[in-house]
C-alpha cells in the first residue's frame, strides 16, 4: 500500500518520479506528493489530494526542478486523505520523507517529540519519523547514521525514503515489513516500492532485505544490514521485454484482464508440461516435499482466500488430502494445532500482502514441513521467503479487482491437487480427466466471454439495487463468494454470498422483490438441492439470476433470468463460472459510473496490516 519512488541523478528527475508514481498508482490513490532538492539546495514540494493526475497538474502549473527527489502515492491509514496528510512530510525546513507502512508506536514517539518542541502539522503516523530523523541530524549525525538511529526506535512496518538539503545528492532509505527495491542506473540510482515503477530507467534491481538501510547518490550505492554492517545484495536483471501497461483497445484494465484469461490460463497450465518432471513447476525439491505431505493448510486474503476455498474441495475430494483454509489476518494471531506433515500454502497475487507474509513468517519453526506460495509476482517478498513457488502466468494485473490472477491461481491449485493426488487417492484415469479438462479450459473461458452482451443485458436490473445475494453449493459456494466480492468492491452494491442450504437459517428473511438473487447453478451432484433452495427464494418473491448450463434444466420465466453457460467438465466449472460473474460486476459498475479500475478506498497491493 502506498507507492514510493526516489531518484538520485545528474539530470532532472521530476518526470521520472511522476512516471514511477503513475505505474505505482495501483498501490494507493487518495493523494500524492513529491519533493525535490533543487540546484540551490532548496527543498521544493508539491502535495495534492486525489490521484496522481492532480500532482501532474500541480507540476504543470509550477514545475519543480531538481536531480534528487522522492515521491509518493498514498492509501490513507492514519489521517484522512488530504493534501496536509499527503507525503512527503517535512521537518526543520530541510528534510522531506515518504513512508509506506504503519508506525505502531507513533503515539508515544509523537509525545516525546512534542516535548522536545516539534510541531506536528498532519494526523499521520509518518510525521514522527521525519522529526525523529531531524532530531538525530541536529545531534551531528550524517543522514545515513540518523536513519540508522531512527529505525531502531520504530515499531511496525515501513519502507522509508528521505532527502535532506544538507546532503543534496543523496537519498537514504530503509525497509522492514514493506517492500523496497533499488534500481541501479549508470551515473544515477533509484528506489521504489516495486520494480515496475523503474523499468523505464533501468533493468538492474536489488531487492532489499528486511532491516536494510541504503544510501544512494548518482555515483554510489551502499547497503547496510539491520546490524549496521555494509552488505552486498544480489543484483537481478529483469528482462527488457517490459510488459506494457496499456489498455489495448479496452475501456478498462479490468475488462482487458478478464479477456486475457484464455491466454493467461493456457500459459499457467503450460508450465506443467514445459519442464522435465510435472512437479518441477513448484520449484526445486518439490517432489521430495510432496512425497511427505499428509495435510495442507492454505492461508490467503480476499480473492486469493476464495481460491484457497475452492482448492479445499479439490484437495479433499480428488487427492484425499485433508485441507484447512483460513484468512491470513486471523491465522497469524491464532494459537493453532497443526497436523504432522502439513504443507503451508500461501496464495497471493502481489506476493506482498502484509497479513499473508506475516502468517508465513510467524509459522512455527517445526509447524510445517515446507511452505509453498502461489503468486503472480516473481521476486516478491512471499516468493523470496517460501521454500517452494508456483508462479501464475497471468501477466501484470492492474485493475484493483483481481480477475485473471484468481483464475490462474485456481490452475496452480489444481496442478497442486494433481501433484498430491498422484501420490495417493487419485486414479490414473482421474488424473487424465483433469489434464484434459485443463487443456480445454481456455476454450470454455472464451465461450463464456462471448456471453458478454447477454450478461450486460442482465446487469441493468442491478443498477437501482442496494443489495444482492449470491448463492452456490459445494465448490460453487466460494465462487458465489468471489462473485459477491467483485460486485461489492467495484459497484459498491452490498452483496453477500451464502451456501444455498444456509438460506433458511436466517438470510431468507432478507428476500423480497427488491433483492436480486444470483445463483451459481451448473449441473452437478448438488443441483437438485440447490433447485429446492431457489424455489424457497421464488416463493417469497425473490428475483433469480441463474448462471447454469443447459443440462441443469432451468428455463427463463417471470422473475427467473437464466444465463446459459457452456457445458464443461465438472472440475473446471468453478473457473468458468467465475468469468461470467466477473463480467456481471464489470457491467453493473460501468453502468453505475464507478471507477472500475480504482474503486474507492481500495489499493491493489495491501502491504499494511
Ligand atoms: C479483490 C482483491 C483482493 C486481493 C487481496 C489479496 O478483488 O483483489 O481481495 O485478493 O487483497 O491480495 P493478494 O492476492 O495480492 O495477496
Q: In which band, very low, low, confident or very high, does the pLDDT at 370 lie, cut at 50, 70 and 90?
A: very high
Q: What angle is formed at CA 95 by the lines to CA 91 and CA 100, rounded to 5 degrees?
A: 90
Q: Are 162 and 143 in contact (CB under 8 A)?
A: yes
Geometric angle at alpha carbon 3, from 109 and 130, rounded to 5°: 25
Closest C-alpha to ligand 1, atom 16: 348
Asked whether residue 324 carries a pLDDT value surpassing 60, the answer given is: yes
Which has the minimum average pLDDT: 181-185, 504-508, 578-582? Answer: 504-508
Parallel/antiparallel/unpaired status of strands 167-176 and 156-164: antiparallel
Please state, in angstroms and rounded to a whole number, the distance separating the CA atoms of residues 521 and 577. Answer: 9
Choose among 160, 125, 157, 128: nearest CA to 144: 160
Residues, the chain: 609
Residue nearest to atom 13 of ligand 1 (CA): 348
Which ligand 1 atom is at minimum distance from the Cα of 303?
10
Confidence of residue 90 (pLDDT cuts 50, 70, 90): very high
Instruction: Measure 379 CA to ligand 1 centroid, in angstroms.
Output: 18
Atom nearest to 403 CA in ligand 1: 7
> Kind of pairing, strands 370-375 and 388-391?
parallel
How remote is the CA of residue 55 from the centroid of ligand 1, in Å? 27
In this predicted structure, the answer to whether residue 493 has a pLDDT above a threshold of 90 is: yes
Separation between Cα atoms, residue 444 and residue 439, nearest integer Å: 10
Residues 6+ apart with CB under 8 A from 559: 538, 541, 542, 543, 544
Domains (range + CATH), the chain: 3-237 (3.60.20.10), 246-450 (3.40.50.10490), 453-609 (3.40.50.10490)
8 Å CB contact between 236 and 207: yes
pLDDT tens-digit profile of 518-571? Answer: 999 999 999 999 999 999 999 888 999 999 999 999 999 999 999 999 999 999
Q: What's the confidence (pLDDT) of residue 365? A: 85
Which SS3 state, helix, strand or coil, does residue 563 take? strand
User: Taking 60 as the threshold, does the pLDDT of residue 244 lie above it?
Assistant: no
**Does the pLDDT of residue 262 top 70, yes or no?**
yes
Task: For residues 374 and 345, give the distance between their C-alpha atoms in angstroms, rounded to a whole number.
Answer: 7
Work out the percent of the chain whose per-residue pLDDT is above 90.
Answer: 89
Q: Which of 26, 193, 304, 356 to mutate to test the pocket of ligand 1 (most atoms within 8 A of CB)?
A: 304
> 129 alpha carbon to ligand 1 midpoint, in Å?
29
What separation in angstroms does the CA of 289 have from each of 4, 364, 391, 519?
38, 18, 18, 39
The SS3 assignment for 394 reads coil
- Identify the CA nearest to 73 among candidates 90, 91, 61, 56: 56
How far apart are the C-alpha atoms of 35 and 6, rounded to whole Å? 9
Q: Are 405 and 397 in contact (CB under 8 A)?
A: yes
Q: Taking a C-beta distance cutoff of 8 angstroms, is the pair 101, 128 a contact?
A: no
What pLDDT does 602 receive? 87
If one counts every other C-beta atom within 10 angstroms of the C-beta of residue 292, the result is 12
pLDDT at 422: 94
Mean pLDDT of the chain: 95
Q: How far is CA 430 from the centre of its chain?
A: 33
Mean pLDDT, residues 75-103: 94
Which atom of ligand 1 has the smallest separation from the CA of 302? 9
Question: Quick one: average pLDDT of 256-273?
Answer: 95
Which of 47, 256, 598, 604 is an active site residue?
A: 604
Segment holding 183, helix H or strand E: strand 181-184
Q: Whose CA is nearest to atom 5 of ligand 1?
A: 302
Residue 308 CA to ligand 1 centre (angstroms): 12
Pocket (CB within 6 angstroms of ligand 1):
301-304, 348-350, 353, 356, 401-402, 485, 489, 606
**How many angstroms separate the alpha carbon of residue 596 from the centre of ligand 1?**
15
* Residue 353 CA, closest ligand 1 atom number: 16
Q: Looking at residue 243, what is its pLDDT?
A: 58
**C-alpha 85 – ligand 1 centre gap (Å):** 26
Distance 25 CA to ligand 1 centre (A): 16
Among 27, 178, 302, say which to mutate for ligand 1: greatest number of ligand atoms within 8 Å of CB.
302
Ligand 1 centroid–CA 348 distance in Å is 7
574 has pLDDT over 60: yes
Give the 3-state secondary structure of 294-344. CEEEEEECHHHHHHHHHHHHHHHHCCCCCEEEEEHHHHCCCCCCCCCCEEE
Average pLDDT of span 339-364: 95
Q: Which atom of ligand 1 is nearest to the CA of 375?
A: 14
Best substitution site from 194, 301, 347 to test ligand 1's pocket, by max atoms within 8 Å of Cβ?
A: 301
Among residues 27, 358, 361, which one has the least CA distance to residue 194?
A: 27
Bridge partners (DSSP) of residue 286 are none
Ligand 1 nearest atom to the CA of residue 356, by list position: 16
Whole-angstrom Cα distance, residue 485 to residue 477?
A: 12
Q: 98-134 in b/e burial notation, b at 16+ Cβ within 10 A?
A: bbbbbbeebeebbeebeeeebeeebebbbbbbbbbbb
Does 54 score more than 90 pLDDT? yes
Q: Does pLDDT of 320 surpass 90?
A: yes
- Number of Cβ atoms within 10 Å of the Cβ of 425: 14
Best mutation site among 606, 608, 609 for ligand 1, i.e. most ligand atoms within 8 A of its Cβ?
A: 606
* Helices 428-449 and 404-421: angle between axes, nearest 10 degrees: 170
In the chain, the percentage of residues whose pLDDT exceeds 70 is 99
Give 245's Cβ-side CA count (13 Å radius): 17
Q: Whose CA is nearest to atom 3 of ligand 1?
A: 302
Q: In sequence order, what DSSP letters do the residues of 113-167 get, joined into one string?
A: HHHTT----SS-STHHHHHHHHHHHHTT--HHHHHHHHHHT--EEEEEEEEETTE
Which of 309, 353, 487 has most ligand 1 atoms within 8 Å of its beta carbon, as the pocket-test mutant?
353
604 tagged catalytic: yes
Rounded-to-10 torsion of CA 118, 121, 126, 127: -20
Q: Output the pLDDT for position 321.
A: 97
Q: How far apart are CA 607 and CA 118, in angstroms?
A: 29
pLDDT-derived band at 245 (thresholds 50, 70, 90) equals: low
The residue whose C-alpha atom lies closest to atom 7 belonging to ligand 1 is 401
Task: Decide if pLDDT at 606 tops 90.
Answer: no
Between 174 and 398, residue with greater pLDDT = 174
Average pLDDT over residues 265-276: 88
Kind and range of the H or E run holding 372: strand 370-375
- Residue 195: pLDDT over 70: yes
User: Residue 150: which residues within 8 A CB-CB, separation 6 or more?
Assistant: 129, 132, 133, 136
Q: What is the pLDDT of residues 417-438, one digit of tens each?
A: 999 999 988 999 999 999 999 9
* Segments in 139-239 forming alpha helices (H): 143-152
Cβ-proximal residues to 449 (8 Å cutoff; 6+ apart), any chain: 258, 259, 261, 262, 579, 583
Selected catalytic residue, list 2, 281, 323, 568:
2
Residues contacting residue 337 through CB under 8 Å, at least 6 positions apart: none
In this prediction, residue 144 has a pLDDT band, given cuts at 50, 70 and 90, of very high
pLDDT tens column, 299-310: 999 999 999 999
Averaged pLDDT, 601-609: 81
How far, in Å, CA of 274 to CA of 469, rounded? 42
Per-residue pLDDT for 241 more than 70?
no
> What pLDDT shows up at residue 240?
55
The residue contributing the CA closest to ligand 1 atom 11 is 302
**301 catalytic, yes or no?**
no
Q: Which atom of ligand 1 is nearest to the CA of 405?
A: 14
**Cα 245 to Cα 405: distance, rounded to the nearest angstrom:** 16
Residue 359 CA to ligand 1 center (angstroms) comes to 15
262 in Cβ contact with 445 (< 8 Å): yes
Structure confidence by residue, pLDDT tens digits, 442-483: 999 999 999 999 999 999 999 999 999 999 999 999 999 999
Q: Who contacts 355 (Cβ-Cβ below 8 Å, separation ≥6)?
A: 301, 327, 328, 329, 332, 606, 609
Residue 499 CA to its chain's centroid (Å):
26
Amino acid at each position: 500500500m502506498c507507492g514510493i519512488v526516489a531518484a538520485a541523478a545528474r539530470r532532472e528527475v521530476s518526470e521520472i518520479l511522476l512516471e514511477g508514481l503513475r505505474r505505482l498508482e495501483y498501490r494507493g490513490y487518495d493523494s500524492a506528493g513529491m519533493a525535490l532538492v533543487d540546484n540551490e539546495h532548496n527543498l521544493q514540494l508539491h502535495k495534492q489530494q486525489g490521484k496522481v493526475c492532480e500532482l501532474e497538474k500541480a507540476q504543470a502549473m509550477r514545475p519543480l526542478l531538481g536531480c534528487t527527489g522522492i515521491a509518493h502515492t498514498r492509501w490513507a491509514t492514519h489521517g484522512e486523505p488530504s493534501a496536509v496528510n499527503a507525503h512527503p512530510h517535512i521537518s526543520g525546513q530541510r528534510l522531506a520523507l515518504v513512508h509506506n507502512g504503519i508506525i505502531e508506536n507513533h503515539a508515544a514517539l509523537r509525545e516525546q517529540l512534542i516535548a522536545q518542541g516539534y510541531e506536528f502539522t498532519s494526523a499521520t503516523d509518518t510525521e514522527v519519523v521525519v522529526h525523529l530523523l531531524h532530531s538525530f541530524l541536529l545531534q551531528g549525525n550524517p543522514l545515513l547514521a540518523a536513519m540508522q538511529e531512527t529505525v531502531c526506535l520504530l515499531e511496525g512496518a515501513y519502507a522509508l525514503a528521505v532527502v535532506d538539503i544538507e546532503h543534496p545528492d543523496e537519498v537514504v532509505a530503509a525497509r522492514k515489513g514493506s517492500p523496497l527495491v533499488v534500481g541501479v542506473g549508470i551515473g544515477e540510482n533509484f528506489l521504489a516500492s516495486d520494480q515496475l515503477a523503474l523499468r523505464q530507467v533501468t533493468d538492474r534491481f536489488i531487492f532489499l532485505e528486511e532491516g536494510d538501510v541504503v544510501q544512494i547518490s548518482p555515483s554510489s550505492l551502499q547497503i547496510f544490514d539491520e546490524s549496521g554492517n555494509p552488505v552486498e545484495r544480489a543484483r537481478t536483471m529483469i528482462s527488457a521485454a517490459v510488459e506494457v501497461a496499456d489498455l489495448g483497445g479496452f475501456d478498462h484494465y479490468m475488462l482487458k484482464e478478464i479477456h486475457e484469461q484464455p491466454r493467461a490460463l493456457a500459459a499457467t497450465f503450460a508450465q506443467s508440461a514445459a519442464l522435465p518432471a510435472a512437479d518441477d513447476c513448484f520449484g526445486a525439491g518439490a517432489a521430495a516435499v510432496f512425497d511427505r505431505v499428509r495435510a495442507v493448510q492454505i492461508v490467503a486474503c480476499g480473492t486469493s482466500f476464495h481460491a484457497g476455498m475452492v482448492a479445499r474441495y479439490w484437495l479433499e475430494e480428488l487427492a484425499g488430502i485433508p485441507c484447512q483454509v483460513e484468512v491470513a489476518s486471523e491465522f497469524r494471531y491464532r494459537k493453532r494445532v497443526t497436523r504432522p506433515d502439513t504443507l503451508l500454502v500461501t496464495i497471493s497475487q502481489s506476493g506482498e500482502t502484509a497479513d499473508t507474509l506475516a502468517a508465513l513468517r510467524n509459522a512455527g519453526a517445526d509447524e510445517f514441513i515446507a511452505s509453498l506460495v502461489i503468486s503472480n509476482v516473481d521476486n516478491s517478498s512471499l516468493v523470496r521467503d517460501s521454500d517452494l513457488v508456483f508462479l501464475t502466468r497471468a501477466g501484470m494485473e492492474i485493475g484493483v479487482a483481481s480477475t485473471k490472477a484468481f483464475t490462474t491461481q485456481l490452475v496452480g491449485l489444481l496442478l497442486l491437487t494433481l501433484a498430491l493426488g498422484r501420490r495417493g487417492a487419485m486414479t490414473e484415469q482421474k488424473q487424465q480427466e483433469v489434464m484434459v479438462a485443463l487443456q480445454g479450459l481456455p476454450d470454455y473461458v472464451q465461450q463464456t466471454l462471448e456471453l458478454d452482451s447477454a450478461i450486460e443485458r442482465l446487469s441493468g436490473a442491478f443498477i437501482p439495487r442496494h443489495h444482492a445475494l449470491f448463492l452456490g453449493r459445494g465448490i460453487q459456494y466460494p465462487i458465489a463468494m468471489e462473485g459477491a466480492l467483485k460486485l461489492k468492491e467495484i459497484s459498491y452494491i452490498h452483496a453477500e454470498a451464502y451456501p444455498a442450504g444456509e438460506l433458511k437459517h436466517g438470510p431468507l428473511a432478507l428476500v423480497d422483490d427488491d433483492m436480486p438473487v444470483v445463483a451459481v447453478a451448473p449441473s452437478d451432484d448438488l443441483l437438485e438441492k440447490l433447485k429446492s433452495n431457489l424455489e424457497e427464494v421464488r416463493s417469497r418473491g425473490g428475483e433469480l439470476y441463474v448462471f447454469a448450463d443447459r443440462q441443469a434444466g432451468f428455463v427463463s420465466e417471470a422473475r427467473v433470468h437464466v444465463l446459459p453457460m457452456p457445458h464443461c467438465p465438472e472440475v473446471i466449472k468453478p473457473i468458468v463460472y467465475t468469468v461470467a460473474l466477473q463480467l456481471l460486476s464489470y457491467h453493473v459498475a460501468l453502468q453505475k459510473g464507478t471507477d472500475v479500475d480504482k474503486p474507492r478506498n481500495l489499493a491493489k497491493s495491501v502491504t499494511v496490516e
